[in-house]
Homo-oligomer: A and B are copies of this chain.
Amino acid sequence: MILIDISMDISHGMPVYRGREDKRPILRIERDFTSGDVYEARIHMDTHTGTHVDAPLHMVRNGAPVNKIAPDKLVTKCRVIDMTAVNEKIKREDLEGKGIKKGEFILLKTKNSIKEDILEKDFIYLDATGAEYLKETGVAGVGTDGLGIERNQPSHITHRTLMEAGIVIIEGLRLREAEEGEYLLSAAPIKLYGAEAAPARALLLRDLPAL
């Protein structure tokens, strides 16, 4: 089996949305070997830390929380699409001609996966026309290597367009090692009851065992 890890490390110094200090995760050591024989820590982090799944509740009043997204929506065939030639934002015309089909889960590989220095503020995002195209096409889900799937758009229009169409959103993927093509995506998030988002360990699998 081939396995590609497409997740971010979670640490205090990791890239965080817009570089905001109050969004940094903190791993607090509660016990260690100086005072006993066990090491134990507690993590304090935004639900949108690193690689994570957004649920409708993030942007839609009374929207579904993340524990209500069935895991088979996130453990599913997917296709990595190379968008590394795109600058600033992915528009409708960048997606047309990629052969995107109804029901597909697509992962958009952009310069975000190559250039670490754009991740906090100038990341490539999916604009409103691109979101509208994915809604019209009827994709099942979309994954981005930006920490947000959009920035600087009024009313968070990309999020809302996707969420209202029932399209699952994964943010913060690391796709540098992922070539274009089909994989089994495994990216079900931890089961934070009632939360609007949750971190996930996202992996791409191929050459699956017979089971």
* B59 and A38 contact, CB distance less than 8 A: yes
* B46 and A42 contact, CB distance less than 8 A: yes
* A189 and B201 contact, CB distance less than 8 A: yes
A9 and B9 CA atoms in complex are apart in Å by: 23
- Complex contacts, A57 vs chain B, CB 8 Å: 39
- Complex contacts, A8 vs chain B, CB 8 Å: 191
CB distance from A36 to the nearest CB of B (A): 11
- Complex contacts, A30 vs chain B, CB 8 Å: 46
* A208 and B190 contact, CB distance less than 8 A: no
A166 and B196 CA atoms in complex are apart in Å by: 36
- The number of residues on chain A lying at the interface, defined by a beta carbon within 8 Å of a beta carbon of chain B, is 63
A97 CB within 8 Å of chain B? no
Interface residues of A (CB under 8 A from B): 1, 3, 5, 7-11, 14, 27, 30, 33, 37-48, 50-51, 57-59, 61, 67, 71-72, 75, 77, 155-156, 182-184, 186, 188-201, 203, 205-211
* B48 and A40 contact, CB distance less than 8 A: yes
Identify 14 residue pairs between A and B in the complex whose beta-carbon atoms are under 8 Å apart, listed by A's number: A5-B188, A11-B193, A14-B193, A39-B196, A40-B47, A41-B47, A75-B203, A75-B205, A182-B211, A186-B188, A189-B201, A190-B201, A206-B211, A207-B211
- Complex contacts, A47 vs chain B, CB 8 Å: 27, 40-43
- Complex contacts, A155 vs chain B, CB 8 Å: 37
A51 and B193 CA atoms in complex are apart in Å by: 13
Q: A11-B194, A182-B211, A201-B201 are in contact. List 10 more A-B contacts (CB 8 A).
A: A3-B71, A10-B190, A37-B155, A39-B57, A40-B196, A41-B46, A43-B46, A75-B203, A184-B208, A208-B211
